[in-house]
Amino acid sequence: MKIGVITFPGTLDDQDAARAAKYAGGEAVSLWHADADLRGVDAVIVPGGFSYGDYLRCGAIARFAPVMGPVIEAAAKGMPILGICNGFQILCEAGLLPGALVRNHELHFVCRDQWLKVENNSTAWTTRYDKGAEILIPLKSGEGGYVAEQNTLAELEGEGRVVFRYVGDNPNGSLNNIAGITDARGRVVGLMPHPEHAIDALTGPSDDGLGMFFSAIDALVKA
């Protein structure tokens, strides 16, 4: 299964995301921001970093990159899409996920290992987890506070579309302790923490993040 990983100017974690896809048994395919071509991939990861230097607003410029046109079209057809950190911001800017990410509530960059609770294990990216499980994933962001209108929050909560929630102290002021969400079909997922940095207990705080990439491979095999 081919998993595309997009590189924008300022992307930091594309190689880590590609490694995670390989760990799960997938074939990682590099996708360039300026090419409106997904190169026949079966899923797409929009990785973390500081695309276009976070100018204007995190993800605001990347959302208009040529590669995002086919990403949006593929998402409409049900392709699994994962946005990590800056990738989550880009997916929100592109309208693939609701809400927005704003400056952390204490106005500091947060870098720490963060416990998350799995709230939804039926998405294309979370079936390998037990609902209610707690996983340890690195978090590193300055604009990670998830916000949305109250009716949007109510919809996300009512439809079970909160995928991950922060456990313990809220690190960034996210409403409802939301760390990650999904679209209505469970195919597009965005989260602020970095599962690609938790795929090997030797180099990360755990290998808990690997389940997301195995889940995607499972979803593609079943399709």
Which pLDDT does position 55 carry in this prediction?
A: 85
User: What's 47's DSSP letter?
Assistant: -
Q: What is the pLDDT of residues 139-149, one digit of tens each?
A: 999 999 999 99
Q: Does residue 52 carry a pLDDT above 90?
A: yes
- Closest to 161 in 3D by CA, of 123, 212, 110, 130: 123
Predicted confidence (pLDDT) per residue in 185-194, tens digit: 999 999 999 9
The pLDDT value given to residue 36: 97
The pLDDT of residue 176 is above 90 = yes
pLDDT band of residue 56 (cuts 50, 70, 90) is confident
pTM above 0.85, yes or no: yes
**12 φ/ψ angles, rounded to the nearest 5 degrees:** -110, -30
Which letter, b or e, does each residue of 170-199 get, where b requires 16 or more Cβ atoms within 10 Å of its Cβ? bbbbbeebbbbbbbeebbbbbbbbbbbbbb
Mean pLDDT for the chain overall: 97
Greater confidence (55 vs 99) lies with: 99
Q: From CA 68, how far away is CA 70, in angstroms rounded? A: 6
Rounded to an integer, the average pLDDT of 74-99 is 98
**What average pLDDT does the segment 55-63 reach?**
92
Question: Mind telling me the catalytic residues?
Answer: 85, 194, 196
CB 21 within 8 A of CB 30: no
3-state SS class at 81: strand
Q: Is the pLDDT of residue 152 over 90?
A: yes
